[in-house]
Amino acid sequence: MVNPLDTRSIEVAIEYDDPRYWIMIFGAVVFGLVLNKFFDKATEDARGNYLVILGFAMVTLQLYIPITQALDPDYTFSYHRNLPLHFCSVNFWLIAFNCFLRNRMLFVLTTYMGITGGFHSFMTPLLTAGDASIQIAHFTLVHSSLISVPIVMMRHFGMNFLKFDWLRAYGFDVLISTVMIGVNYYLNHFVENPYPDIANYMYVTEAPDVNNPFLSKSLGWPFYMLPLHFLFIFHMLLINQIIRWTRREKIASWKEIFY
């Protein structure tokens, strides 16, 4: 029997014809609705405390699997697989910390990245440490939080966007993905790997093995990433417009970009 916490398990893509795919989608939607409804019903004074509790819960959720792995005497840690350096992992940590900080700029970066990344993660779920039930539940909660927690902060904690914030978020995305190319290169060339899988954080070393029409392995590195960048920009502009329509707020002037 495969250890559900063992990253030697191959990456598992959950396809549309798998009943677990629809269970994950349903669970993510229910979690997001319940979380937002909970904050809707809370008093204004209590919401701040609940947000802090939510932050601690997110940190605990993200630490559960690494701690369990560390306590397993049969488990072998790998810098190539176990570091929390995928887009969604980085974004999840930043969102969790922002439950304590409530920083507007950090909110901007995590909201654009979180909603876009969370949406596409559910479109083509790729579980990086096997498909045991605990991994499926963890994936669902983490990626649902990437979408639902920023919505909570928008609705109840005064978080907002300024004109061209989407461009700042895209610049941050390019910066960290470029840095991750160097991190992957260093790990793959200078750090001993106990497993055959290479370091491929943020999938900037090779394309993930998922059935995604925007990912063409035939393009080779780094060209397979170009369609994703165009898609990311499109989604950020779409998110920006939907939020402005929903909140019915005035477009900020260009002078506000630098504040």
- Cβ atoms of 184 and 200 within 8 Å: the answer is yes
Dihedral of alpha carbons 94, 243, 170, 253, sign: negative
Segments in the chain below pLDDT 70: 1-10, 129, 212, 217, 247-259
Dihedral of alpha carbons 225, 231, 235, 237, sign: positive
Rounded to whole angstroms, what are the CA distances from 42 to 53, 146, 155?
13, 21, 13
Domain ranges of the chain: 12-258
Residues in the chain: 259
Query: Which tokens is 123 given?
Result: 């479109």
Q: Tell me what pLDDT residue 247 has.
A: 64
Task: Match 């509790």 to its residue by tokens.
Answer: 53
Q: Tell me what pLDDT residue 40 has.
A: 96
Q: Tell me what pLDDT residue 153 has.
A: 95
Residue (of 9, 242, 16, 10) closest to 124 by Cα position:
16
In whole angstroms, give the CA distance from residue 20 to residue 89: 22
Q: Tell me what pLDDT residue 256 has.
A: 40
CA 57 to chain centroid, in Å, comes to 16
N- to C-terminal Cα separation, the chain:
55
- Cβ atoms of 207 and 217 within 8 Å: the answer is yes
Q: Tell me what pLDDT residue 218 has.
A: 73
- Cβ atoms of 148 and 31 within 8 Å: the answer is yes
Q: 3-state SS of 55-123?
A: HHHHHHHHHHHHHHHHHCCCCCCCCCCCCCCCHHHHHHHHHHHHHHHCCHHHHHHHHHHHHHHHHHHHH
Collect all residues with Cβ–Cβ distance below 8 Å to 4 and sequence separation of at least 6: 130, 132, 133, 134, 135
Q: Tell me what pLDDT residue 10 has.
A: 58
Collect all residues with Cβ–Cβ distance below 8 Å to 250 and sequence separation of at least 6: none
In whole angstroms, give the CA distance from residue 10 to residue 221: 22
Q: With left for phi above 0 and alpha for psi between -120 and 50, is residue 88 left, alpha or beta?
A: alpha
